[in-house]
Amino acid sequence: MTRRLVTELCGLELANPTMLAAGILGYTESSMKSIIEAGAGAVVTKSLGLEPRNGYPNPTVVQVDCGLLNAMGLPNPGINYFSEELKELKNTGVPIIVSIYGFSSKEFAKVAETAVSLGADALELNVSCPHVEKGGAEIGCDASLLAEVVGEVKKRVDRPVFVKLTPNVADIGAMAGAAVEAGADAITAINTVKAMAIEVETARPLLANKFGGLSGPAIKPIAVRAVYDVYRTVDVPVIGCGGITSWQDVVEFMLAGASAVQIGTAIAYKGLDIFKSVTRGINTYLKKKGYKNIKEIVGLAHKF
């Protein structure tokens, strides 16, 4: 463990500031173990709800220029079915953050309580899925609904609660403010950007659900701007997410205000080595620049 990279986040200790983003390989104990072995500082699970869900029919993922477009429809086995997977991961020393969703504040709170009883080290509220009706971004676009969900969850659990925000709003800083006022311990910025693609020969939307969420390098500048906005609005840690594929990207997010980052789509492009290569790169950068730890560069771009 390189001391320079150890990251304290809401009372959790991460060996380095990289985390697996929600929705990618975070389903099974074995896939999460391989992410831990690959060097991630923490793991976020696929979003789990109260009941099992099949999700949307195929096609659910399409490749577009500079990114992936997906609309899976939150397929998951339900929070209760997840207990075995979590149990197996408890002794790895790597924090497991359970991503949860719900269709009301009461449902969010129930899933949150169950996740904590099963051993979640922290929760990430998915209030930002760009295309699921009544859950997801419909909550994250409405400041009072967002505050209600965060407040209900905070009343019921004693673990850190991260709130993952959607970029599909006019003022993400205001949404972060509402979440923090209601008790959010950290803000994850951003979830995918609502998008679509159409096949020109057939005139058909490519995704079965028509609309989906765009991830990957195409959205990185949107995410960096969102992190910058959130950092200057609220006084809790910001977790950067969106299009990270290199250590330079991670440093950029940190300069904008991120204390840690999440990596998802890049795993599809670059494989699991990305966690170690990014970690090595940040460490070399800090050393070369004479910084003792990551904290020294978080938010540095705000001085200009």
Choose which of 49, 135, 177, 213 interacts with ligand DHB (CB under 6 A): 213
Site for ligand DHB in 92-151 (CB under 6 A): 126, 128-130
Q: Is 74 a residue that touches ligand DHB (CB under 6 A)? A: yes
Side chain identity at residue 141, one-letter code: C
Side chain identity at residue 118, one-letter code: L
Tokens read off for 193: 């950007």
Cβ distance to ligand DHB smaller for residue 71 or 227:
71
Tokens read off for 154: 């905070």
* Least distance to ligand DHB, CB of residue 44, Å: 11
Q: Is 73 a residue that touches ligand DHB (CB under 6 A)? A: yes
Stretch that binds ligand DHB, among 67-75, 146-154, 195-203, 255-263 (CB under 6 A): 67-75
Neighbours of 222 (CB within 10 A): 18
Neighbours of 283 (CB within 10 A): 16
129 is annotated as an active-site residue: yes
Q: Is 45 a residue that touches ligand DHB (CB under 6 A)? A: no
Cβ distance to ligand DHB smaller for residue 23 or 39:
23
Choose which of 16, 18, 70, 245 interacts with ligand DHB (CB under 6 A): 70
C-alpha distances out from residue 28 to 25, 57, 99, 119, 166, Å:
7, 21, 14, 15, 26
Q: How far apart are CA 80 and CA 254, in angstroms?
A: 36
Q: What 3-state class would DSSP assign to 133?
A: coil
Q: Is 71 a residue that touches ligand DHB (CB under 6 A)? A: yes
The single residue of 10, 66, 129, 141 carrying the catalytic annotation is 129
Q: How far apart are CA 114 and CA 48, in angstroms?
A: 11
Tokens read off for 115: 């996740």
Cβ distance to ligand DHB smaller for residue 18 or 70:
70
Choose which of 168, 191, 233, 259 interacts with ligand DHB (CB under 6 A): 191
Residues in contact with ligand DHB by CB under 6 A are 23, 70-74, 126, 128-130, 191-192, 213
Q: Tell me which residues are annotated as active site.
A: 129
